[in-house]
Structure 1
Amino acid sequence: MIASVGRAAAVAVAVAALIGAGLFGGTAAAQDRRQNEPGQFDFYVLSLSWSPSYCEAAAERRTRNDNGRPDPQCGARPFSFVVHGLWPQYDRGFPEFCQVPAPRLNREIVSAMLDLMPSPRLVFHEWDRHGVCSGLGARGYFEAVRKARAVVKIPEAYLEPEATLTVTPDEVEEAFVKANPGLDRSGIAVGCNRNRLTEIRICLTRELGFRDCPEVDRRACRRDKLAMPPVRGG
């Protein structure tokens, strides 16, 4: 309980500082008049993180979680694409931290999501920053996360690669479009760091159907070639 209160207080301080500096409230408010009103948004982005890239980067940074152990996502169990989050979006901009402090998450909900989001810290973070903006209760929001993930079929080549793949953003987008009837190239964006594919962002309606999202698409990775490290143990 003390840790939860401390975390909520830290978020509140950070948001207040950004608003006071004109770096959060002012800019975001200019994007959409509904800024940060729970349940008031236009569509979702489902972000699927390529876990092997995350874990390689984490090892390079020697990233550890709060109790000194490696991130659970990077343990013995191999992961490929995992859910980073389901993010409410405006046609221009997006809401975040719509309720501070966020309603406390039931530990049973957190545990139930670890097959898709393999880190309790990630589940808590996504609820605090994005989930509360959906206007749904915690159980409803994470049910929506699970349904959204079920909508998207991962191309066979990216299920469990045993060696590093060299891909282009266009190739990856095309593979997802072919595997998912109704998905258009303007409704998906590839994310990257300097040389690795990091995530796929797919735009969904509030009813979890595919839709276009020009603003998200414009922020896609523009590099020529990217590495997709293999699934651990492959």
Structure 2
Amino acid sequence: MRKLFFWVMMSFLLPLIHTNPLRADGEPAGDFDYYVLSLSWSPNWCALEGDGRNAPECEEGAELGWIMHGLWPQYEQGWPSYCNTVERNPSRSDTAEMADIMGSGGLAWHQWNKHGRCSGLSSDAYYALSREAYELVTRPTAFRRLQDDIRLPASVVQGAFLAENGGMTEDGLTVTCRENFIQEVRICLTPDLEFRTCGQDTIRDCSLSSATMHPLR
């Protein structure tokens, strides 16, 4: 009876397997609509997470401001992650070379693993494009001159980026907050790294009347 049940089930499943081959979790690499460049204010990230991890980028004298959280392939609605790719993983030295703009090689590895695979690029090309995107955006220097904690509306941060970057529009970036801190600025870019409008699910503007920014360490 068990053998009969097995073959009955196989006769049902085989046509499905043939027409819908099984695959690992994750979407195909290279299938996306645009990028989100995410920039974190490092002193705030340190207060929220980095200090608890004894992250080296949070040491006094690090003087890190807007660091790159990641360059994320995005759909018009939703986003891919952990995509299937034939490209090799980056080496330890590859990820370490991104620490100057990302704070650590560990973050560079995580971003490749979750997001970079979805770009359809090699790890070298993805990191090169990430650096190009980071350098494309002028990061306002005014925040680097903070001497003490300050509370301000997220719109002030957004306005500072708009003033420094011609071609960037209000609907092409969003400022997020977390636990009363300014968290990130997320900027939407075409695959060719031109400023563009963000999808509706990317816009997550901070709803607080004001949020804290720590000065550089």
TM-score, normalised by the number of residues in structure 2: 0.83
2:72 aligns with one of 87, 108, 115: 87
Larger-gyration structure (1/2): 2
Could you say if the C-alpha distance between residues 160 and 134 of structure 1 is closer, same or farther in structure 2, counting changes exceeding 3 Å? farther
Deviation at 1:159, TM superposition (A): 3.0
The match for 2:40 among 44, 49, 52 is 49
Q: Which of 52, 60, 63 pairs up with 2:52? A: 63
Q: What residue in structure 1 maps to residue 4 of structure 2?
A: none
Aligned residues: 192
User: Residues 127 and 160 of structure 1: is their aligned pair in 2 closer, same or farther, counting only changes over 3 Å?
Assistant: farther
Counterpart residue number, 1:207: 192
Distance 1:165 1:100, change over 3 A: same
Are 1:73 and 2:57 matched, yes or no? yes
Q: CA distance change for structure 1 residues 102 and 165 in 2, over 3 Å: closer, same or farther?
A: farther
CA displacement, residues 82-108 of structure 1 (integer Å, 9 cap, x when unaligned): 000000000000000003898321122
After the TM superposition, which of the residue ranges 137-146 and 166-175 deviates more from structure 2?
166-175
Decide which of 138, 142, 157 is 1:153's aligned counterpart.
138
Partner SS, residue 39 of structure 2: strand
> How big is the alpha-carbon RMSD for the aligned residues of Structure 1 and Structure 2?
1.9
1:186 to 144, 166, 171: 171
Contact 2:35 2:188 in 1 (8 A): yes
For residue 134 of structure 1, what is the aligned residue in structure 2? 119
Q: Residue 38 of structure 1 aligns with which residue?
A: 29
- Report if the CA contact (8 A) 1:186-1:217 is conserved: no
SS in 2 for 1:84: strand
1:113 maps to what in 2? Answer: 98
Deviations 1:167-216 (A, max 9, x none): 21111111111110000000111111121101110001100010001414
TM-score, reference length from structure 1: 0.77
User: Conserved in 1, the CA contact under 8 Å of 2:181 and 2:211?
Assistant: yes
With over 3 angstroms needed to count, the CA separation of the structure-2 counterparts of 1:80 and 1:213, relative to structure 1, is same
- Determine what percentage of the aligned residue pairs are the same residue: 36
Q: Structure 2: where are the runs of 5+ without partners? A: 1-24
